[in-house]
């Protein structure tokens, strides 16, 4: 059966398109293989399932294993669950972010002490108004002294900043504070040694108030890993 020139032309065009598509796909696959080869083999890394907060002890439910190319994986990346589970977070980690050794405290340091760098102190304060900012927040500690008892610099009716840029390490659970009035639940802050002394004096002679400040105001360096 003779086919019309139009049918033959359509058939020829289809063959050309198919060959061209195959060539393009083949070229793309070859490029992908070359790219994969240049990146090297894949390795396992640990990734945060959700945001990890400062002072949090990592559990198996907090992390997952993913594969990444070795050439794109920093040497400091944690590659096995044992390197993360049971360790205390000293640098907050965002969800889906790769975990590094600098994000966690050494295995020998546990609990609250794991997040305190050399030269700093963790102090517990009870704000006068019961305000309890979230863990990881940065706050200033204000002390309202009675000017007839303690002389302060500046206006007599102004509160004094006794610690600035203090990071909140822990927040008391009001339901287990042991106090009938839940407003007495306190907050644990990371401050300098001098600020710890100032806060201790202020707590005995003044009403303390916390004011949340921008994260960039944090006074204390990240803990050593």
* Residues 39-64, mean pLDDT to the nearest whole number: 90
Q: 110, 125, 158 — which closes off a domain?
A: 110
- At a CB cut-off of 8 Å and minimum separation 6, what does 126 contact? 184, 185, 186, 187, 203, 208
3-state SS, residue 29? helix
Using pLDDT thresholds of 50, 70 and 90, give the confidence band for residue 31. Answer: low
Query: Higher-confidence residue: 130 or 22?
Result: 130
Tell me, yes or no, whether 106 and 121 share the same domain.
no
In this predicted model, what pLDDT tens digit does every residue of 138-158 receive, in sequence order?
999 999 887 666 655 555 567
Q: 82, 110, 138 — which closes off a domain?
A: 110
Q: Looking at the domain assignment, is residue 92 inside a domain?
A: yes
Q: What is the CATH number of the domain that holds 60?
A: 3.90.1210.10
128 contacts 207 by C-beta, under 8 angstroms = yes
Q: Looking at the domain assignment, is residue 81 inside a domain?
A: yes
Tell me how far apart the alpha carbons of residues 54 and 114 are, in angstroms, rounded to a whole number. 10
Query: Higher-confidence residue: 149 or 222?
Result: 149
Tell me, yes or no, whether 48 and 105 share the same domain.
yes
pTM score of the predicted model: 0.62
* Residues 192-201, mean pLDDT to the nearest whole number: 93
Pick from 180, 184, 175, 190: nearest CA to 221: 190
Tell me, yes or no, whether 20 and 64 share the same domain.
no
94 contacts 41 by C-beta, under 8 angstroms = no
Task: Provide the CA 201 distance to its chain's centre, in angstroms.
Answer: 32
Write down the pLDDT at residue 194: 94
Task: Provide the CA 159 distance to its chain's centre, in angstroms.
Answer: 32
Tell me, yes or no, whether 106 and 145 share the same domain.
no
Q: Looking at the domain assignment, is residue 159 inside a domain?
A: yes
3-state SS, residue 211? strand
Query: Higher-confidence residue: 77 or 136?
Result: 77
Write down the pLDDT at residue 18: 72
Tell me, yes or no, whether 55 and 140 share the same domain.
no
Q: 110, 128, 158 — which closes off a domain?
A: 110
Tell me how far apart the alpha carbons of residues 222 and 211 are, in angstroms, rounded to a whole number. 21
Q: Looking at the domain assignment, is residue 222 inside a domain?
A: no
Share of the chain above pLDDT 90, in %: 37
* pLDDT(200) > 90: yes
* pLDDT(129) > 90: no
Write down the pLDDT at residue 9: 67
User: Per the structure, how many domains does the chain have?
Assistant: 3
Tell me, yes or no, whether 93 and 139 share the same domain.
no
Tell me, yes or no, whether 129 and 165 share the same domain.
yes
Q: Looking at the domain assignment, is residue 204 inside a domain?
A: yes
Across the chain, mean pLDDT equals 81
Tell me, yes or no, whether 148 and 210 share the same domain.
yes
Q: Looking at the domain assignment, is residue 98 inside a domain?
A: yes
* pLDDT(195) > 90: yes
Q: Looking at the domain assignment, is residue 143 inside a domain?
A: yes
* Residues 153-176, mean pLDDT to the nearest whole number: 78
3-state SS, residue 112? helix
> Could you tell me the residue range of the domain that residue 121 belongs to?
116-217
47 contacts 63 by C-beta, under 8 angstroms = yes
Tell me, yes or no, whether 183 and 155 share the same domain.
yes
165 contacts 217 by C-beta, under 8 angstroms = yes
Q: Looking at the domain assignment, is residue 225 inside a domain?
A: no
Tell me, yes or no, whether 17 and 62 share the same domain.
no
Query: Higher-confidence residue: 157 or 192?
Result: 192
């Amino acid at each position: 059966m003779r086919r019309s020139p139009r049918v033959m032309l359509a058939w020829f065009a289809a063959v050309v398109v198919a060959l061209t598509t195959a060539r393009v796909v083949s070229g793309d696959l070859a490029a992908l293989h070359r790219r994969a080869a240049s990146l090297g083999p894949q390795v396992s890394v640990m990734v945060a399932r959700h945001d990890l907060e400062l002072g949090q002890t990592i559990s198996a439910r907090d992390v997952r294993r993913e594969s990444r190319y070795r050439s794109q994986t920093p040497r400091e990346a944690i590659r096995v669950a044992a390197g993360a589970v049971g360790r205390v977070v000293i640098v907050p980690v965002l969800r889906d972010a790769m975990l590094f050794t600098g994000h966690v405290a050494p295995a020998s340091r546990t609990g609250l002490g794991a997040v305190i760098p050399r030269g700093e102190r963790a102090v517990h304060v009870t704000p006068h108004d019961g305000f309890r900012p979230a863990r990881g927040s940065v706050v200033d500690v204000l002390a309202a002294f009675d000017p007839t008892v303690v002389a302060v610099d500046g206006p007599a009716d102004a509160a004094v900043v006794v610690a600035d840029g203090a990071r909140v390490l822990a927040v008391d659970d009001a339901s287990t504070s042991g106090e009938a009035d839940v407003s007495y639940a306190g907050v644990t802050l990371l401050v300098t040694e001098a600020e710890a002394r100032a806060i201790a004096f202020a707590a005995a002679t003044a009403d303390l108030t916390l004011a949340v400040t921008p994260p960039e105001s944090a006074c204390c360096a990240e803990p050593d890993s």
